[in-house]
Structure 1
Amino acid sequence: MQKILDELSEISAKHPSLWFRGHSSIKYKLNSGLYRISSEKSEVLEHENNIYNSFVNLGAMHIEHFGNNTDKDWNTLFMMQHYGMPTRLLDWTSSFITALYFANLGRKKGEGAVIWALDPIALNNNCHRLYDATDDSGYDTIGYLTLDTLPSRVKKYTNYYNEAIHIKSFALMPRRSNQRLISQNGFFTVQGTDALPLEEEYKNNIGEFLYKIDLPPETYEDSLQYLKVNGVDYYSLFGGIDGLCKHIKDELLSIKFKNI
């Protein structure tokens, strides 16, 4: 682990802010759930439309408290992401150790894993189609984006599939509306319309503001021990009774069902 921590320290020294994302397989790409359905843009837009409208119509009672304000679309999307619906949101965390946990969640001994590191401000400053398709000015001062500062062309989330917008992935700071976002120090990137995973969209910026930190197979045991001594487990990150039960069953007692 020391080599990994040294690499992290070197990267952190270059950036005032970093977000992290852990992958338990070196094969996984920085694709949102929506783009894991298909790489065809037309098919993705059709799914996005159907998924969102189905959720809004069938789950109206769960989102009625959002009212009719301009944030309703995005708050609905955050809820969908929270409960596992495929969206164009990709989860990130400002906590390296949280990303390390997810990099080892489902990872098997003898397999490598990956943690991606991202400077969200630099990402937005390089998203030159964020505000206008032809105007690249002013991109060195964008900083963090929130629901209050979203550009008008994506102020309504449904513009992604109701209008012909062309935009790359950008970083978004959500309102901490649920305990999981708080526990996991959660943030999002919003996947762009090019049907490309983030590391391919910004392939020329890898090593500049996007970094891939490899966790070789030999780091598996050390990673688990590092998480254990720091008190990071399923319950600490997910909370709730379901999180507690899963932690006790799978992590604390490692219960296996043999009499099947």
Structure 2
Amino acid sequence: MEINSESHSQHISRQFNQELEELKTHLMAMGGLVEKQVQDAITALLENDSKLAGKVRDNDREVNDLHLQIDEECTRILARRQPAASDLRLVLAVIRASSDLERIGDEASKIARNAISLSESNNVIRGLVEVRHISEHVRKMLRDALTSFARFDLELAIEVVREDELVDDEYGSAMRSLITFMAEDARSISSVLSVMWILRALERVGDHADNLAEHVVYLVKGLDIRHSDPDTLEATVLDRNS
């Protein structure tokens, strides 16, 4: 059964309604924090701001605390309410989504740590153009994935899944360019390796945004699309009769 944003507001228990709404609210708050972590980590890198990078690294604890809080809320709902059908899918989707958000927070911390390392280097930093481009792409994916979750928007979720393939292609191209830089200038190896780790972290952010979008499809349609062909997704997921 397909559900929409009103499907979780029609329970006999008003308190159960409130618990589910709070669960979604807390997940969106975590998503907003993680999105800012990624943005600040990239800003710290591009503006050579080690203080901001340190703040990102320190704020990872807040992300972890939210993850634990949401897990606890989900466990309590499962134990007390024993939800079924769409309510169970919501709780399970939130559990999975919060795990992906926590891992995005970890990737932001990795970017911040490498930004601090690069700020201490006297070398010319290669690959920042690629970092800027890919970071804009994955940040849009993350923003759209969170929006699709908040609105139960299948079309937007599918768009995010499709975008992940483009990010993978951009990542591969950027890595090839950086390998060429290292081959041409051995003095750049240390800084280029740091940039490569940053690009890898951004690629992983895209992967987790893709996961978030897949959780939306599971939540709304009850379909597991993790190993589906992207070219057939739209026909499968948006089939109004499924």
Q: Same fold (TM over 0.5)?
A: no
| TM value normalised by structure 1 | 0.25
Normalised by the length of structure 2, the TM-score is: 0.26
The structure whose residues are more often strand, as a share, is 1
